[in-house]
Amino acid sequence: MDRSPLLTTDRLLLRRWQAADLAPFAALNADPEVMAHFPATMSPADSDALVERIEAGFEERGFGLWAVEVADTGRFIGFTGLSVPRFEAPFLPAVEIGWRLARPYWGHGYATEAARRVLGFAFDDLGLAEVVSFTSTTNLRSQAVMARLGLTHDPAEDFDHPSVPEGSPLRRHVLWRITADRWHARP
């Protein structure tokens, strides 16, 4: 398999990470608004280490959280892609789709556009049978992306994320799913 899958959409480039992405990625990971639905913002060192893990994942599996660039401007705006959650939950193992964009790039449809391309890759190139997505119950913007993509949510599958401290309002999570059949049957 191609270990450097480059994906394109009308407005975006989904590519492997570059050294120049580290500073803008650290900035968005330190932004309290971007990280509002996570237990904490990230330090630059943790942000850099995350990029290293993502890149190692691309080498190992041929997929991961792609760096997203606006094609017209060449500007790095965040990530959208696939990951394999490592905690324990009834719905795991599974492949998860996720997204995180810098605040100025919300409200342009970029996350949904990038994620549509990633789902196409997941089902058509990787041949996955299903992709899941999850977020804290409070994260309505992320759930709106899931709904636009055609994922569905069964409240019976809501769960407490083991890495979020007990008592935190961010601990309760929703689980959304989409099967390959549903993806291919979309209008």
Ligand X SMILES: CC(C)(COP(=O)(O)OP(=O)(O)OC[C@H]1O[C@@H](n2cnc3c(N)ncnc32)[C@H](O)[C@@H]1OP(=O)(O)O)[C@@H](O)C(=O)NCCC(=O)NCCS
Binding residues for ligand X, rule: CB under 6 A, are: 34, 37, 98-101, 106-112, 135, 139, 141-142, 145
Nearer residue to ligand X within complex by CB, 80 or 128:
80
What's the min distance (Å) between Cβ of 38 and ligand X? 7
By beta carbon distance, the residue nearest ligand X is 109
Q: For residues 127 and 94, is the Cβ–Cβ distance under 8 A?
A: no
Residue 27: strand, helix, or coil: helix
- Bridge-based pairing of strands 96-101 and 159-160 is unpaired
CA distance 25 to 133: 22
What's the min distance (Å) between Cβ of 145 and ligand X? 5
Nearer residue to ligand X within complex by CB, 101 or 122:
101
Residue 98: strand, helix, or coil: strand
What's the min distance (Å) between Cβ of 83 and ligand X? 11
Nearer residue to ligand X within complex by CB, 127 or 175:
175
Q: Quote the crossing angle between the two packed helices 140-149 and 110-120, to the nearest 10°.
A: 50
Nearer residue to ligand X within complex by CB, 25 or 127:
25
